[in-house]
Every structure is written in C-alpha cells, then in structure tokens.
Homo-oligomer: A and B are copies of this chain.
Amino acid sequence: MTGIRVSGLRKEFAPSGTVAVDGVDLEVPTGAFLVLLGPSGCGKTTTLRMLAGLEDPTGGEIRFGETVVAGAGTVVPPGRRDAGLVFQSYALWPHMTVRANVEWPLTIARMPAAQRRERIAEVLDLLAIGELADRYPGEISGGQQQRVAIARMIAPNPSVLLFDEPLSNLDAKLRAETRTELLRVHRATGATSVFVTHDQIEAMTMATHVALMRDGRVEQFGTPAELLADPATDFVATFMGTPAANVLDAVARDGRLTAGDTDLGAAGAVADGTAVRAMYRPESLRLGTGPGPVLHTVFAEVTPLAGRMVVTGVHGDDRISVVLDERPEATHGDPLPVVLPACPDRVFDAATGRRIAS
C-alpha cells in the first residue's frame, strides 16, 4: 500500500529565486490523513504540487509506498501516481458541464458508460450538487465550483488524495458535513490523504497527522493533540487552538520575567538577560485588576464559542484572548485589564522560538 515518505524536499522557483519549500521531511503511514497546516505563503501548495508531480522538486525525494516518484533523477508523471488533486483555484474545465467535468476522468480511466453514470450520480449527490449537473462552471457559485472540483477528483477512487484548501469556500454547515464526508471517503478508500489548509480547526478535527509549516519548513510534525498540548515553538503556540494561545515578549532580569512594566513571575530556568516569549492559554487568564500581574489591553472583539465568550484585547502588537463564561460589558476601544496567572504556561526562547524547560 501507499504511505508517503518525503525527505529533504526543496523547491526554488527559477526566475525570482524564491525558495517556496526548504527541506521538508514527512513520514505518512498508509491510510493516514496528513494536514499541511500553515500561514499563507508558507509553501503548502507548492509541497502539495510536488506530491502531485506538477512541480519538480529542486532537491530531496518523494516516495509513494516503495516507489520513488520524485527525486534522484526519476520523475513519475502525475497521471501515473494514482493520486487525485483538488486545486485551490478549482481549475474546472470551463467548456464542460459539471457532469462532463466529473465524467471525463472516468472516461480516461476507461470506465464503462453504465458504471460511469452510476459513479457520477453517486459523487454528485455525495456533494449535494446533483441539480447543477448540466450547468457550466461559469454559471455556478464559488462554493458550488469547489464542490464540483472535489467530486471530480474523488470520482476515479485514487489511492492518494491531495486537497488544496477544498473547504475554504464552503459555509460552516456544509464545511462540517463535507469534512465528515471527506473523512468517510478517506476511510472507505483507505487512501492516504494530504490536506492543505490554513484553518487549524480542520486540522484538529480531521488530521491523524499535522505538519505545521512556516517559511517553507516544517515547524512541528505530530498528532493534532500533540501540537495543541505541547507546542514546540511559540509559532506553533500562536497558531494552534481556538482561540490560539497568547504570547508576550518578555525578558529575564534578576530572576524575574518582565514584559514592559508588567512582572510575569519567577524566571525559573531562564538565564538572566534572555529575551523570551511567555505563553498563556486563554483559559488561564481572566479579566480584572488583580490579584496577580495585570496586563492593560484594549478591547477588540468578542466571539461566542462553545457557549463561552472569547474576548480579545490588543496589547501593543499582541492580541490577547481570554475565555469567559459571560459576555463582558465592553465595546471597541474600552480598556480591558487582564489578570495573568502566577507564571506563564510555557516560556520560549525569543531567539530560537524553542521551548525553555522550566
């Protein structure tokens, strides 16, 4: 079967010399569901395109199962990798109806007409676009196009599924449903899936493995729970979780950590003078003026989540979110004093971003 092994993968774009992917290593067991997570421009799509065979690596190697599909001179053409890809820009064929778009790959795969018709009906209503079958891509909405793209790719039952932000144009409800559907498809086919997104909720709910990327590198690779529970770097901390963890720039001075004029408690193992980033989980903060160190932020927004209220205050360039049980009486611009716990949940070295054991 086809697990995916990626080692030292690198991509430099010729004319501009942009290095989009810079030494990525991944180990994806058969049937796993890998989510490539990361901020915009971090190299997710490029990585995915190299997996698909649409982009040739400028370095490193990609294996599907035992076969090297890219690297060391060999390049297996996309069509022979038995992989399907959903593009970020749908890439539907504008001159074909929705049905034709889904049917063509099956025709290519020499599926007999009767079977084709069946399969098309199947995937079309799996994605709830049956009634659009005879429209042209130009005549359907963004989200509808996105779903057609998904239908088109899963139709031939490829054994590696590649998704480039397939859900980003779907509404919450449909997204949740499609999420479950995709997982169903994924499990049913036993295919190994690689799923690009910048929405860490999708990572949380779907992934068996997450690779959080940044500037073309993998920042942390592991299960969603791992990334959430102990982030390897402050970047991971601020990227994972809804709401994400808060970090404050601080410095260790005579045994204490201080952020600006706020004292954050004992420096512990942190060497004197080190610039650090102190992480606080939103749940460990509360509003008020003490007891304990107080951070003076300015109210930005409030979001009801899971029956609670996530209040966000701005402190300099940092956004500080606090989880409350009640909506606070504040509107945009009001002062929002936040009480910090005795010591940060985690401390990261500001220079390396790595965690400092305390």
Interface residues of A (CB under 8 A from B): 13, 16, 18, 38-41, 45, 88-89, 135, 139-144, 146-147, 165, 168-174, 176-177, 179-180, 183, 187, 198-201, 204-206, 228, 238-239, 241-244, 281-283, 300-308, 310, 312, 314, 319, 323, 332
Contacts and interface: CB of A to CB of B under 8 A. Distances in A.
7 contacts: A89-B142, A171-B198, A172-B242, A180-B301, A187-B332, A241-B304, A242-B305
A40 B150 CA distance: 15
B142 A18 contact: no
A301 B172 contact: no
A242 B304 contact: yes
Q: How many copies does the complex hold?
A: 2
Contacts of A243: 306
B40 A143 contact: yes
B239 A173 contact: yes
Contacts of A302: 205
B204 A304 contact: yes
Nearest to A43: B141
B172 A200 contact: yes
Ranked 9 nearest A-B pairs via Cβ: A40-B143, A171-B198, A283-B307, A305-B306, A41-B141, A39-B171, A306-B308, A205-B301, A306-B323
Contacts of A310: 306
Contacts of A307: 281-283, 308, 323
Contacts of A139: 13, 16, 18
Contacts of A314: 180
A226 B205 CA distance: 29
